[in-house]
Every structure is written in structure tokens, then in C-alpha cells.
Structure 1
Amino acid sequence: MNLYEKLAEELENQIRNGAYQIGDKLPSVRSLHQQTGLSISTVLQSMYVLEAKGLIEAQPKRGYFITYHSPKNQPRPGIYQPTEKAGRRDMEDFIQKVYGQISAEPGLVNFAIGVPSAKMLPVARLKKIVRETMLDTSDALVSYEPIVGNLKLRRQIAKRTSLWEHGVSPDDLITTSGCMNSLATALMALTKKGDSIITETPVYFGTLQLARSLGLKVIEMPTHSEHGMDLEEIKKMLKQQQIAAIIVVSNFSNPLGYSMSSQSKRTLVRICTNHQVPLIEEDLYGDVYFGSERPLSCKSFDKEGMVLWCSSVSKTLAPGYRVGWISPGKYKDKIIKTKLYHNVSSPSLTHEVVAHFLDKGRYDKHLRQLRITLQHNLHKYLQLIQEYFPIHTKVTFPKGGFQLWVELDPRIDTTLLYEAALRMGIKYAPGRMFTLRDQYKNCLRLSFGLDWDENTANALTKLGLLFQHQLVHY
């Protein structure tokens, strides 16, 4: 870590811990220079980092002032217990209504979208690499890739796990068409119709719909909004009945945004190993962390190959390229057979382009800026939610990713209010979509991966006022 990054981190911790309040003035650049012994230019670089994160702002001839408003007084959700009552069967139609139009719609502020804004992605650089790759005179890009996928890409992915307790090698990896394709391949390889699987609750609706399409029974486990699934409940369930697989989004889950502790990940892997139940780990948000280092994956604690580690660059680099991978451990042969039957081969061009991008070291530089931008957005969202949403609104405070989970007054039904919001030019993801049970009607998921501008701020304000107005009528 550079000197300016260390100073920025120290000041950030002070700001977050309440040493400074919104509107307070930071010590001057000259004072920090004298206190720390760092050069003026190094101190200024630290200020630029804090400013980019939305923690401070520069006021001409006055200095730097705190703009971060601590969410400590904002109530947080607790543990979510799955209810016994089954949910409505028409939620698939509702999901289609929300996500049927994926492309940008003019004038619409779409808080439901599950990827960062294109302006946050290195589009120009990727286009250049595509052009360079297309000029390749060999015929490799029009041929089928090996069933395990592009070797350059697998090498680059393996390099990124080199510091793990149990890193993966290129031979441990199989490329896929995005993380969802990895999950689908894993479930098709490991389960059969009628089998039971375990997930968190609430859980990404795509996982639920995929499981239902395969005829699987989904058992939603009690889940803490900050710590993840209740591991003791998982152990009880594994003793009670046969479970074909456990699915977990270990880092900055969708939709709650929690990240499991390293100890919890280690414990979960041990549980799965003891019961010989495969753990399908989706780790597609792990690179979007707001702390000093990337959180480990469950796979990094896997000694016996029980973890099928699934990830992609869809949430960080190029959603439309459909570049993903899976490290299937002891289930490699099953995954290869399933991929052969259903996909034959991964796309050559986009996988080659991403491999080239990773090889040049541009990915980490891009990620640093992406994390700063998203963290800035998170602070802005939390401030407006605290100011304009109904009193006693509970909201998560993720330490990475770009999803916020909001819990409103129990009298508010976010599914019923969806059409009213849509007429205002606003989309969001109602909480009811993230379960097969009859619950979370008063919840919603918001993406803070949008560009932060006046339209976004106004839309979030209007949404809060819409929910407040609903309460007035009760």
C-alpha cells in the first residue's frame, strides 16, 4: 500500500468511526504534512482519494470538509426467518415485468438493474482490444475452444488466487458463459429432479427460478443481514434430510450485501466436507470490496474439493461478454460432461479479449476506480434514504458490491407500489421476488451501481416520499 493510501485509510477510519461529523473541517494539508512527515503532494493525493469516495469535499480557500454522514443511527435489518407459507405462483410473471426490458429505457432511473453503469466500465479500452484481437490472422478465434476453455483466461484467473490458502491452478478451472451459467452447470451436474438444496433467505431470484426449472426443492435457511446463513441451522438440516447441494454467495451477497467472515467460511466448508455435501459458491462480487483487501472465498479453505467456486467479470468489467468460470474441485468430470452436453464450447472472442485485458494488468487499476465510485454512491444513497424514506426504515450497510436491501414499515407493500413508481419513471426490485415464501413484501433491493447525478438523486428522493405518502393513508 502506498503512503498516500495509508494516510487516506487512517483518515477514512476516523471519519467512519465518528471522530468527525458532517460539516467538520479536516486538518489543513500543511498541518497533516507537519504531523505525518509526508510531502505536501502525498497528503494531497490522500485528500483526492477521500474526495473521490464522497467522504470530504474541497472548499476554495477554506480547506477540506466532511460530507460523510454516518449511518450508525440508521436501523439495520437483523435475522430473516423463512416463513412456512408458500408464496404466490405468479412471481415469474412479475419478474418478467421488471426485467423483461434489459436495455436502457429513456428517462427511466432503474434501481433494479444488477450491473454497474457502462460509464463505470473501461468500454473504450475493451473496444480497442476487440479490434486488436479481430486482426489476429490465425483461425483460432473461429474454432471451438477446448471444453475446459481458453487457456490464457484460465491462467490469468489462477494468478489471482495465488495468495489464497488453497489457490487454484489453470487445470482446476473451466470457463463458462457467465456466473449464472456456472451455477446452472453445477446444479445440472449434481442434482436431479426432486432433490433438495439449501440457500440463504432472501436469495437472488435467478437462483430460485433456475432451481424450480430443474424441479428442485429449495430450503431457505435463516440468514443474518450482516453475517449470512445460520450455520447451526444448516447442520441441523443436514442431519434431518438428504441435501444435494448448498448454494452461497459468500462475499457481498445479492440481495443482502453481507460478507461472511473468514471463520464462518472455514466452518461452512468443514460442515460440507463432514457431510459430503457439495458447496456451490458464487463469488462474483468479491473484487468489489471497500476495505483494504479482497475477502477470501470459501474455496480458499477447501482441502478436499467440496467447493465449486463460480465467478465472472459480468459485475465488474463486461456484463455482455458473458465470461465466467467454475473451479469444480472433485466434481470436475461431472462439470465437463454437463458442459459438453449443454454448451459444447465457450465463446472464443470475448474470452480471449478478457484474458488479454487481465494479462496487461489493467483490471486491478479499473477495479480501484470502480470501488471508489461505488463507495461514493453508497454514502449518497444512505444519506438520502435516512433523510427521505419513512422513519424506522432499516437498511443494510454493505462493505462491497453494489446492492442495498431496504426494509420498510410492515404496512407498505413494495409489489403493489411498483406500478406507481414506474409511472414516476423509477424501477426497483420488490423484496417479494427474492423468496419462494410469502414474505418480504415490505422490502426492496436497490442498486447503487447507477451514475450518481441529479436524476438519480431525485428518483431516490421521490421513491422515499412515495413510501412515506403510502403510510399517511393508514
Structure 2
Amino acid sequence: MNLYEKLAKELEKQIKNGAYQFGERLPSVRQLHRETSMSISTVLQTMYLLEAKGLVEARPKRGYFVSFSPNQNVQTPVVYRPTTKEGRGSIDDTIQQVYGKNEPHDSVTNFSIGVPSSTMLPIARLKKIVRQTMLDLTDACVHYEPIMGNPYLRRQVAQRTSLWENGLSPDDLITTNGCMNALALALMTITKKGDRIITESPVYFGTLQLAKSLGLEVVEMATHSEYGLDMEEVKKTLKKIDIAAVVVVSNFSNPLGYSMSAQSKRTLVKICTNHQVPLIEEDLYGDVFFGPERPVPCKSFDKAGIVLWCSSVSKTLAPGYRVGWIAAGKYMDEVLKTKLYHQVASPSLTHEVVARFMDKGRYDNHLRQLRVSLHHNLLRYLQIIQEYFPENTKTTFPNGGFLLWVELDPRIDTSQLYEPALSLGIKYAPGRMFTLRDQYTNCLRLSFGLDWNEQTANALTKLGLLLQHQLVNY
């Protein structure tokens, strides 16, 4: 870590702890130069980094001021305990309402979208690699890949696990058409119609739809908005009823945004190992961390091969390329058979391109820029939510990813407010989409992966005012 990064980390810690509060002036560049013995240029680099993260703003001839304090008036939801009441109607209706219509792009600010803005992705560099790949490979990627997938890609992914407790080799990995495809292969392999699976609550609606299509029963578990699954409840459930698999998004979950602690991950792996229940881990947001280092996945603690680790670059690099992978542990041979029966092979060109992009540090350079942009966005979103949303609004505070969970007054139904919001040019994901039970109707999920500009800020402000107006009418 460079000197300016160390100083920035310390100042960020002080801002987040409230030592420097919103609107307060930070020590001057010259004062920090004298106190730290760092050069003026190094101190300025520190300020530029804090400014890029949205923590400070420069005021001409006055210095740098705290632009937002994350702890100021933030209310965080704690534990979500699933109700026993069956949900009214199908979540398919709500999903169709949100994603089934294609409104003109320019007229709608789409907070429901589950990928970063295209301006945050290295499109020009990817285009260059696509062209070069077609020139380099004599078969122009027209032939089938090996059933395990592109060897170059598997090698690059394996190298990224070298610091784990139990790092992977290329032979531990199977390429897939994105993370959702990896999850589908895992569930098709280890479950059968009528089986039960454990998930978080709230849980990504795509997981619920996939489980439904396979005839599986979803058992939603109590989930802490900061720490994840309630481990004691998981243990009790595994003792009481037959469970075919536990499915979890371990890092920066969708939709809550939390990341399980390393100890919780270790504990969950141990629980599943003791009960011989497969743990399917989705880890597609783990590379988008805002802290000092990437959080390890549950797979890192897996010695028995019980964890099926699923990931992709769909949330970080190229959503449309459909490049993912699965490390299936002791279920490797069975997952390979499932892939062969359902897919035959993975797309050759896009998987080769992503492998080349991962090589020589290109991917890591891109991720560093992406993380700064998304962290900046998160802080800006929270600032507007605090200023314009109803007073009793609660939000999660994710330390990575790009999804924010918002809990509103119990009288508000975000499904009913969806159309009024759309008439203002605003789309979001109602909380009812993320459960099969009658709950979370007063919640919504926002993506902070959009470009931060005047349109985004105005749309978020309008949404807050709409919610306030709704409460006034009760």
C-alpha cells in the first residue's frame, strides 16, 4: 500500500467514526505535509482519493471539507425473520411488471438494473482483445471447448485463489454461461423435484424462480442485514428436516448487500460438512469490495469438497459475455455430466477474451477503478436518502457490490407505488420480489451501479419525495 493510500485509509476511518463530521474542514494540505512528513504531492493524492470516494469535497481557497459522514443519522435494519404467511399472488407478476417492459432508455432512471453502467466497463479494451483473439486463433473460436471449459480461463481463475486456505487448481473448475448457469447446474445435479433448499431471506428473485422451475421447496432462513444467515437456525433446521442444499450469496449479497464474516463462513462450512449437506455459494460480487482486501468465500474453508463455488464476471466486467465458472468439489463428475447433457460446451470466443483480459493485471486495474466509482455512488445515494426519504427510513450499508436495501414505514407498499414512480421516470425493485412469503412489502432494492449525474440525483430525490407524500396521505 502506498503512503497516500495509508493516509487516506486513516482519514476515511476517522470520517466514518465521526471524528470529522459532515461539513467540517479537514486539516490543510500543508498541515498534513508538516505532521506526516509526506510531500505536498503525496498529501494531494490522498485528498484526490478521498474525493473520488465521495468522502470529501474541495472548496476553492478554503481547503477540503467532509461531504458525507456515513454514520450520520443512518438507521440499519437488523434481522429479517421470515413470516409463516404465504405470499399473496405470484412474485412472477411483480418481476414481469419491473423487467417485462422496455421503456425508452433516456426517459427512465433504472435503479432496478442488476449490472454496473456500461460507462464503468472497459468496452474499448474488450473490443481490442476480441479483434486480436479472432486474428490469433486459427479456428476463429468455431469449435467446441473441452467439456470443463477454456483451459486459459480456468488457469486465470485458479491463480486468483492462490491466497486462499485451500486454493484451487484449473482442474477444480468448470466454465459456465454466467453465475446463474453455474447455480442451475449445481441445483440440477444435487437436487430432485420435491427437495427442500435453505436460502437467505430476503433472497435474489432469480434463485426463487430457478428453484420453482426445478420443483424445489424454498425454506427461507432468518438473516441479519449485516452478518447474514442465522447459524443457530440453520443448525436447528438441518436437524429437524431433510435439506438437499444450502444456497447463499456469501459476499455483498443480493439484495441486502451484507458480507458474511470469515468466521461465519468457516462455521457454515463446518455445519454443512457435519450434516453432509452441499453448500452452494454464489460469489459474483466478491471482487467489488470497498475495504482493504477481497473477502474470501466459503470455498476457501472447504476441506471436504462440500462447497460448490459459483462465480462470474457478469457483475464486474461483461454481463453479456456470459462467462462464469463453478468449483464443484466432490460433485465435480456429476456437474460435468449435467453440463454435457444440457449445454455440451461453453461459448469459445467470449471465454477466451475474458481469460486474456484477466491476464497481465488488466482485470485488477479495471476493478480498482470500478470499486472507487461504486463506493462514491453508495455514499452519494445514502446522503440523498438521508435528506429526502421519510425520517424512519432504514438502509443497509454494504461494504461492496452495488445493491442497497431500503426499509420504509410499514404503511408503504412499494409494489403499489411502482407505477406512480414509473410515471416520474423512476424504476426500482419492490421488496416483495425477494421472498415467497407475505413480507417485505415496505422495502425496495436500489442499484447504485448507475452513472452519478444530475439525472440520477434528481430521480433519487423525486423517489424520496414521492415516499414522503405517500405517508402524508395516510
TM-score (norm 1): 0.98
Query: Post-superposition shift, 1:23?
Result: 1.6
Q: Does structure 1 conserve the Cα–Cα contact (< 8 Å) formed by 2:314 and 2:321?
A: yes
Match of 2:234 in 1: 234
Aligned counterparts, 1:46-85, within 5 A:
46-85=46-85
Is the contact between residue 153 and residue 351 of structure 2 (CA under 8 Å) also seen in structure 1?
Answer: yes
Which amino acid letter does the alignment assign opposite residue 313 of structure 2? V
Aligned positions of 1:18-417 closer than 5 A: 18-101=18-101, 105-139=105-139, 141-417=141-417
- What is the distance in 1 between the residues matched to 2:102 and 2:175? 24
Distance 1:294 1:333, change over 3 A: same
Q: Kindly provide the CA deviation profile for residues 335-383 of structure 1, in whole angstroms up to 9, marking residues without a partner as x.
A: 1000001111000000000000001211111111111111111111111
Question: Counterparts of 2:372 and 2:106 in 1: how far apart (Å)?
Answer: 27
Q: Residue 363 of structure 1 aligns to which amino acid in structure 2? A: Y
Is this contact kept in 1: 2:15–2:69, CA < 8 A? no
Preserved contact between residue 71 and residue 383 of structure 1 (Cα < 8 Å): no
Equivalent residue of 1:149, what SS? coil
For residues 3 and 143 of structure 1, what CA distance do their matches in structure 2 show? 49
Q: Which amino acid aligns with 1:266?
A: R
Q: Distance in 2 between matches of 1:163 and 1:101?
A: 44
Three-state SS of the structure 1 residue aligned to 2:136 is: coil
Opposite residue 288 of structure 1, the aligned amino acid is V
**Contact 1:81 1:222 survives alignment (8 Å):** yes
Q: Is the 8 A contact 2:51 2:57 kept in 1?
A: yes
Give the whole-Å Cα distance in 1 for the aligned partners of 2:357 and 2:193. 40
Measured in 1, the distance between the counterparts of 2:376 and 2:103 equals: 25
Residue of structure 1 equivalent to 2:461: 461
Of 65-74 and 287-296, more deviation after overlay is shown by 65-74
Amino acid of the structure 2 residue aligned with 1:262: A
Using the alignment, how far apart are the partners of 1:169 and 1:104 within structure 2?
45
Q: Which amino acid aligns with 2:202?
A: P
The Cα of 1:102 is off from its aligned counterpart by 6.7
How far is 1:134 from its partner? 1.5
Q: Which moved more, 1:39-48 or 1:371-380?
A: 39-48
Residue 93 of structure 1 and its aligned partner are, at CA, apart by 2.4
CA contact (8 A) 2:18 2:71 kept: no
Partner Cα distance (1:179, 1:83) in 2: 29
Work out whether residues 179 and 284 of structure 1, in 8 Å CA contact, stay in contact via their aligned partners in 2: yes
Letter of the structure 2 residue corresponding to residue 459 of structure 1: A
CA–CA separation in structure 1 for the residues paired with 2:435 and 2:9: 38
Unpaired runs of 5+ residues, structure 2, are none
Q: How far did residue 105 of structure 1 move? A: 2.0
Matched-pair contact (CA < 8 Å) for 2:18–2:69: no
Question: Residue by residue, what CA displacement relative to the aligned partner does 1:2-21 show, whole Å, maximum 9, x if unpaired?
Answer: 11111111111111111111
Letter of the 2:107 counterpart: G
Judged with a 3 Å threshold, the aligned counterparts in structure 2 of structure 1 residues 146 and 314 are, in CA distance, closer, same or farther, namely same
Q: Please report the RMSD computed on the Cα atoms of aligned residues, expressed in angstroms.
A: 1.1
Q: State how far apart, in whole Å, the 2-side matches of 1:301 and 1:91 are.
A: 35
Matched AA of 2:354: V
Post-superposition shift, 1:125?
A: 0.6
Distance 1:296 1:5, change over 3 A: same
Q: Secondary structure at the match of 2:27?
A: coil
- Segment drifting more, 398-407 vs 34-43: 34-43
Could you say what secondary structure the match of 1:135 adopts? helix
